[in-house]
Each structure stands twice: as C-alpha cells, then as structure tokens.
Structure 1
Amino acid sequence: MTLSAGLWVGSADLASAALASPFVTGIADGTLPHERFAGYVAQDAFFLEAFARAYALGVAHSRDRSTLEAFADLLAGVREELRLHDGYAARWGIDLAAVSPAPATLAYTEFLLATAALGDVGEVAAAMTPCMRLYAHLGQALVLRATGPYREWVDTYADPGFEELAATLEALLDRVAADTPGVRRAYRRAMGLELGFFTAAGESTAWEAGGSVGRQ
C-alpha cells in the first residue's frame, strides 16, 4: 500500500463523518438552506486563497523540477475552484471581499500556511492532500444521488479532472514524503480540520449572510 493510500485509510473515520455531516447531506438532497451555502461559499473562497498561497510556498521550496511543476499544476486547479466561487458570488450577491474568517476557517488556514512555511516538502504535501482527496471522495459518493440546487457543486468534485488533481497530489506525497510521525500528524490534523469546516458550515449560523458574509 502506498503512503497516501495508507494515510487515507487511517483517516477513514473522519472522511465518513464528513460524508454524514448535515452540510454534505444537505448538499446531496438539496435541503441545505440557501444562506448556509452562501456562507460556506464565502468561507471556502477565503480558505482557497490560503490554499493557493500554500501551493505557492510549495513551489518556492521545491528541490527539483518535477516537484515544482506538480505544485504549479495544483495551484492552477485552485484558480479554477476560485472562479467557480466567483460565479456563485455573482449569481447570489455574495461580497467575497467582505468576508471575515470564521474560527474553523482560520484554524485551517493558519495550520496550512504555517506548515507550508516551516515544514519540509513532505509535510506540506501531507497537510494539503486531505482537502483534495476528501472533496473528490465526496463528489464521487454523491454524484449518483444528488438533486436540487447544489448539483453544480457535486459535479465539480465528481469530475474526472478533479480526481486527476487529487491523484497528482497523492503521487507527489508518495514521492517526496517518508512515513514519519510528522507526516502522519499533518495528514490527520488536516483531515480533522476538514471535518471541522464541514461541521461549522452545516451547523453554525455565524456563517450565514449577515454574519461573517457580506452582501452586495
């Protein structure tokens, strides 16, 4: 079993909890309140900007050309996600520039940026892989049963192109990281922060428009 596969299996409990979270089940059956999804979009756009910066730090810290190119390709994928969020914002009147990060968002972004700035390349890859693998997993799990207004979200993460990006990051992790306690801690911590992000998105009214989300 590869390192990335073993780390994923080791965090299967957290992935299952994310799939069963009120936010994700509300996405699947279309019952998630509009305001809750708008809040998620705003918080996720803030998160993705930090995710892009972490990839950029991965580029800067790369020790060989193949690692540099992998991080650069992954950074381009985040730009596409940000364009999707810009589309949601334009249609629904979400002012992304007015977003204040919620505690769950800030905890995750601070962890990623600190790891990207101070950790070795293997730990950086370990910290960033759970986001990509989990979203691909959720999209593929929901694609055959998702209905309602959030189908575009599901289709985005069920798309083979997104799976390819997740696999690219896993291949990079397998190549640059050793199976060390630091790598395992980074992966597990990131997966736990993913679950915390989804939990906050589904249950906290602080994410709704009028709270941490500005409106045009």
Structure 2
Amino acid sequence: MGITEHLHQLGRPLVAEQLAHPTVAGIARGDLDERAFRYWLEQDHLYLLDYARAFSRLAWQAPDGHLADLVGIAHSTLNEELELHRSLSGEFGADLTTRDKGPACAAYTSWILDAAADYRDGLAAVYPCMWGYNTLGLELAEARPEDPRYQRWIDTYADPGFTELTERYGRMLQEAEPDPERAERFFLEGMRHEVAFWDTPYT
C-alpha cells in the first residue's frame, strides 16, 4: 500500500466526523443558518490566502518535476477556488476584506505555514484540505440541498477537475517518499484542524 492510500484510510473516519458536523450537515440539507456560512466564507477566504502561501513555500523547495504542479495549485487556489468565495460572498453578505481570524483559522494557518518549511512534512500537512474537501464534495454530490447556493459549494469540490488536481497532488506526495511516521503525524494533525475549522458561533 502506498503512502497516499494509507493516509486515506486514516483520514476517512475524520471525513465521517466532518460529514456529521452541524455545519456540513446543514450545507447538505440546505438549511444551514446563513450566519454560519457567512462566517465560514470569511474564515476560509483568510485560510486560502495562507494556503496559497504554503504551496508557494513548497514550490520554492520543490524538485523540478513538482515545481509546475505546485505553482499551478497555488494559482488555482487564488483564481478558481477563491472565485467561489467571491461569487457567494455577496449572496451571503460576507466581508472578504476582514482580517480577523477566528481561533480555528489562526491555529490552522500558523501550523500549516510552519509545516511548509520542510518539503516532505509540508506536502503531508497541506494534503488534508485538498483531499478532505474533494472527498466531502464527492460524498455530498447527490445531496441536492434545498438552497441551490449550497449546491454550488458541493459542485465545486465534487468537480472532476478538482478531483484530478487532488489525485495529481497525491502522486506528488507519493513521489516525494516522505517518512511514513512523520507523514502520518502531519496528515492527521491537518485533518484535526479540518474538523475544527467547521466550528462557527452560529451552530
């Protein structure tokens, strides 16, 4: 079994925990309190800016064969994934100019930027966000929430293009041959940050 398959096995219970979280369950039904989703949009906007910085830090250390992919993922984060937030922000009244990180966002971004100082550790640390959201999107693809705005969120992360990007990143992680125990530790810590990130003052 390769390292990515092993990490997927370890991560699935934490994906299940996210699916059961009130915020995610509300997205799936389409009845999530708008204030909760507004808070998530604002916090995830701040997170994704630092997520792109983490990819850029990894790209600086990358072998030639990984450089273009990592720069491409940073570009995709800033110009495609964040476009979802921009398009939804007006509909939910989100303020994407805020610089106020909540506790979960501050802890996650600080940790992920520190982890990206080491190439192999950083690859394992950033993988939970990409793999986790793709897995959530695929799990919720048939949910058909009552509010179509939430369906747009699901469709973004279930999109075949995002799945392909996630799989390509998983191959890079495999090719980097990280120490299995360290990769497991960083991946699981990232997954725990992912679970905590869904907490909002409104659920």
Please report the TM-score for the alignment, with normalisation by the length of structure 2.
Answer: 0.94
Unaligned 5+ segments in structure 2 are none
5 Å-filtered alignment, 1:133-212, equals: 133-149=131-147, 150-198=150-198, 200-201=199-200, 204-205=201-202
**Per the alignment, in what secondary structure is the counterpart of residue 168 of structure 1?**
helix
Q: Distance in 2 between matches of 1:145 and 1:183?
A: 32
**Contact 1:143–1:154 at 8 Å: present in 2 too?**
yes
Report Cα offsets for 1:183-207 as digits up to 9, x if no partner.
Answer: 2111110001001112x13xx23x9
Q: Distance in 1 between matches of 2:58 and 2:142?
A: 35
CA RMSD of aligned residues (A): 1.4
Q: Compare 70-79 and 40-49 and name the one that shifted more.
A: 70-79
**Contact 2:34–2:92 at 8 Å: present in 1 too?**
no
**Alignment match, 2:97:** 97
**Contact 1:138–1:157 at 8 Å: present in 2 too?**
yes
Q: Compare 26-35 and 170-179 and name the one that shifted more.
A: 170-179
Q: Compare 169-178 and 91-100 and name the one that shifted more.
A: 91-100
Unaligned 5+ segments in structure 1 are 208-216
**Contact 1:42–1:96 at 8 Å: present in 2 too?**
yes
**Per the alignment, in what secondary structure is the counterpart of residue 95 of structure 1?**
coil
**Per the alignment, in what secondary structure is the counterpart of residue 116 of structure 2?**
helix
Residues paired across the two proteins, number: 200
Specify the code of the residue in structure 1 equivalent to 2:47: F
Cα distance, 1:142 vs structure 2: 0.7
**Alignment match, 1:212:** none
1:126 is aligned, of 114, 124, 127, to 124
Q: Distance in 2 between matches of 1:179 and 1:105?
A: 27
Q: Distance in 1 between matches of 2:13 and 2:77?
A: 26
Residue 64 (structure 2) pairs with residue 65 (structure 1)? yes
Q: Distance in 1 between matches of 2:127 and 2:161?
A: 16
**Alignment match, 1:28:** 28
Q: Distance in 2 between matches of 1:193 and 1:92?
A: 24
**Alignment match, 1:77:** 76
Cα distance, 1:31 vs structure 2: 1.1
Specify the code of the residue in structure 1 equivalent to 2:98: A
**Contact 2:38–2:93 at 8 Å: present in 1 too?**
no
Cα distance, 1:10 vs structure 2: 1.4
Identity score, percent: 31
Q: Distance in 1 between matches of 2:180 and 2:92?
A: 45
Q: Distance in 2 between matches of 1:98 and 1:188?
A: 29
Report Cα offsets for 1:28-55 as digits up to 9, x if no partner.
Answer: 1011011110110000000000100000
**Per the alignment, in what secondary structure is the counterpart of residue 178 of structure 2?**
coil
Cα distance, 1:98 vs structure 2: 1.9
**Contact 2:3–2:180 at 8 Å: present in 1 too?**
no
Q: Distance in 2 between matches of 1:81 and 1:93?
A: 18
> Structure 1 residues 31, 92: closer, same or farther in 2, change over 3 A?
closer
Cα distance, 1:20 vs structure 2: 1.2
Specify the code of the residue in structure 1 equivalent to 2:123: A
